[in-house]
Homo-oligomer: A and B are copies of this chain.
Amino acid sequence: MVEVKPVEIVVDSREASSRIGEALSALPGVSVQTAELSSGDYLVAPGVAVERKEALDLIASILDRRLFEQVGKMLGEHDRAIVLVEGDPYKTGRDVAVEAIDGALAWLACLSGVHVMYSPSLAVTPRLLWRMAVQLRHGLGYEIPLRGNKPKQPWAQAQFIVEGLPGVGPTTARALVAHFGSARAVLCASEEDLRAVKGVGPKTAASIVQALVSGI
A: residues with CB less than 8 A from B are 44, 48, 65, 68, 80, 82, 85, 88, 90-91, 98-99, 102-103, 105-111, 113, 115-118, 120, 124, 127-128, 131-132, 135-136, 139-140, 142-148, 150, 152, 154-161, 163-166, 169-171, 173-174, 177-178, 181-185, 187-188, 210-216
Contact = CB atoms under 8 A, between A and B. Distances in A.
Interface of A is mostly: helix
Q: List the number of copies, as a whole number.
A: 2
Closest A-B pairs by Cβ, 7 of them: A143-B170, A184-B212, A157-B211, A154-B214, A106-B131, A109-B117, A187-B187
A65 B216 contact: no
A143 to B, nearest CB: 3
Given A118-B118, A160-B147, A183 B214 contact: yes
B215 A182 contact: yes
A214 B166 contact: no
Contacts of A82: 109-110
Given A157-B214, A182-B214, A216-B155, A109 B124 contact: no
Contact of A148 (B65, B99, B110, B140): B65
A109 B128 CA distance: 10
A215 B181 CA distance: 5
A88 B119 CA distance: 9
Contacts of A90: 120, 124
24 contacts: A65-B148, A80-B110, A85-B118, A103-B135, A106-B131, A109-B116, A110-B115, A111-B139, A113-B145, A116-B117, A146-B170, A147-B163, A147-B164, A150-B164, A152-B166, A154-B210, A154-B211, A155-B216, A158-B211, A158-B212, A158-B214, A181-B216, A182-B213, A183-B212
